[in-house]
Structure 1
Amino acid sequence: MIEVQDIFSKYGDEYYKNHKLPFHIRKVMWNIISCRTSKLGGHIDACEECGHTRISYNSCRDRHCPKCQTLRKEKWIEDRKNDLLPVPYFHVVFTMPEELNFLTLTNQKEMYSILFKSVSETLLELSRDTKYLSAEIGFTTILHTWGQNLMNHPHIHCIVPGGGLSSDGSKWINSKKDFFIPVKVLSAKFRGKFLYYLKKEYYSNAKLKFTAGIEDLKYKDVFRCFLDKLYKKDWIVYCKAPFKSSEHVFEYLGRYTHRVAISNNRILALKNDLVSFKWRDYRDDNKEKVMTITAEEFIRRFLMHILPPKFIKIRHYGILSNRSRRTKLKKCRIILKVSIPKNEFKTKVTAAEFLLKVTGVDINKCPCCSGKMITKRKIEPKISGPPDKNTKTA
Structure 2
Amino acid sequence: MSAIEHCRTAALGGHVEGCDACGHLRVAYNSCRNRHCPRCQGAAARDWLADREADLLPVGYFHVVFTLPAEIAAVAFQNKAVVYDLLFRASVETMTRIAADPKHLGARIGLTAVLHTWGSAMTHHPHVHMIVPGGGLAPDGTRWISSRPAFLLPVRVLGALFRRLFLEGLVALHAGGKLAFHGTLANLADPRAFARHLAPVRRKRWVVYAKPPFAGPQAVLAYLSRYTHRVAISSRRITAFDGERVTFRVKDYRKDGAARHRTLTLEAGEFIRRFLLHVLPRGFHRIRHYGFLTGPNRKAGIERLRRLIGEPWTAPSREHSTGPTSTETSGRAEPEKTSPPAPQPCPCCGGPMRRLLILPSLARARASPFGEPPTGGPSP
TM-score normalised to the size of structure 2? 0.87
- Provide closer, same or farther for how the CA distance between residues 387 and 339 of structure 1 changes in structure 2, counting only shifts above 3 A: closer
Deviation per CA, 1:188-238: give whole Å up to 9, x if none. Answer: 01111111110111102x121111111111111111122221110111210
- Provide closer, same or farther for how the CA distance between residues 340 and 200 of structure 1 changes in structure 2, counting only shifts above 3 A: farther
CA RMSD in angstroms comes to: 1.7
User: 2:358 is matched with which residue: 372, 375, 378?
Assistant: 378
- Provide closer, same or farther for how the CA distance between residues 100 and 203 of structure 1 changes in structure 2, counting only shifts above 3 A: same
In 1, distance between residues paired with 2:262 and 2:362?
41
Match of 1:318 in 2: 291
In 1, distance between residues paired with 2:308 and 2:230?
34
Match of 1:197 in 2: 169
In 2, distance between residues paired with 1:83 and 1:58?
32
Q: Is the 8 A contact 1:364 1:374 kept in 2?
A: no
In 1, distance between residues paired with 2:366 and 2:140?
53
In 2, distance between residues paired with 1:387 and 1:253?
29
In 2, distance between residues paired with 1:376 and 1:253?
37
- Provide closer, same or farther for how the CA distance between residues 285 and 364 of structure 1 changes in structure 2, counting only shifts above 3 A: closer
In terms of mean alpha carbon deviation, does 85-94 or 263-272 score higher?
263-272
- Provide closer, same or farther for how the CA distance between residues 281 and 299 of structure 1 changes in structure 2, counting only shifts above 3 A: same
Q: Is the 8 A contact 1:90 1:161 kept in 2?
A: yes
Distance apart, 1:351 and its partner CA:
4.5
Listed as ranges, the matches of 1:126-275 within 5 Å are 126-204=98-176, 206-271=177-242, 273-275=244-246
Distance apart, 1:364 and its partner CA:
3.3
Distance apart, 1:34 and its partner CA:
0.6
Match of 1:277 in 2: 248
Secondary structure in 1 matching 2:131: strand
In 2, distance between residues paired with 1:222 and 1:169?
48
User: 2:32 is matched with which residue: 54, 60, 75?
Assistant: 60
In 1, distance between residues paired with 2:81 and 2:300?
31
Secondary structure in 2 matching 1:368: coil
Given the alignment of the two structures, is residue 306 of structure 1 paired with residue 286 of structure 2, yes or no?
A: no
- Provide closer, same or farther for how the CA distance between residues 288 and 317 of structure 1 changes in structure 2, counting only shifts above 3 A: same
In 2, distance between residues paired with 1:91 and 1:163?
13
Match of 2:13 in 1: 41
User: 2:344 is matched with which residue: 364, 383, 389?
Assistant: 364
Secondary structure in 2 matching 1:130: coil
Deviation per CA, 1:84-122: give whole Å up to 9, x if none. Answer: 111111000000001112211111001100000001111
> Equivalent pairs: percent with the same residue?
43
In 1, distance between residues paired with 2:296 and 2:107?
18
Amino acid of the structure 1 residue aligned with 2:358: K
Q: Is the 8 A contact 1:30 1:386 kept in 2?
A: no
Match of 1:352 in 2: 341
Segments of structure 1 that go 5 or more residues without pairing to the other structure are 1-28, 342-346, 354-362, 389-394
Segments of structure 2 that go 5 or more residues without pairing to the other structure are 316-335, 369-380
In terms of mean alpha carbon deviation, does 277-286 or 81-90 score higher?
277-286
In terms of mean alpha carbon deviation, does 217-226 or 111-120 score higher?
217-226
In terms of mean alpha carbon deviation, does 52-61 or 99-108 score higher?
99-108
- Provide closer, same or farther for how the CA distance between residues 339 and 291 of structure 1 changes in structure 2, counting only shifts above 3 A: closer
Amino acid of the structure 1 residue aligned with 2:211: K
In 2, distance between residues paired with 1:193 and 1:45?
56
In 2, distance between residues paired with 1:115 and 1:271?
39
In 2, distance between residues paired with 1:77 and 1:267?
26
Distance apart, 1:70 and its partner CA:
1.4
TM-score normalised to the size of structure 1? 0.84
- Provide closer, same or farther for how the CA distance between residues 386 and 273 of structure 1 changes in structure 2, counting only shifts above 3 A: farther
Deviation per CA, 1:3-46: give whole Å up to 9, x if none. Answer: xxxxxxxxxxxxxxxxxxxxxxxxxx111011000000000011
Distance apart, 1:253 and its partner CA:
1.1
Distance apart, 1:348 and its partner CA:
5.0
Amino acid of the structure 2 residue aligned with 1:215: A
Distance apart, 1:387 and its partner CA:
7.0
Q: Is the 8 A contact 1:333 1:340 kept in 2?
A: no
In 2, distance between residues paired with 1:141 and 1:365?
38
Amino acid of the structure 2 residue aligned with 1:367: P
Secondary structure in 1 matching 2:104: coil
Amino acid of the structure 2 residue aligned with 1:121: E
Match of 1:20 in 2: none
Given the alignment of the two structures, is residue 335 of structure 1 paired with residue 315 of structure 2, yes or no?
A: no
Q: Is the 8 A contact 2:58 2:306 kept in 1?
A: no
Say how many residue pairs are matched.
Answer: 345
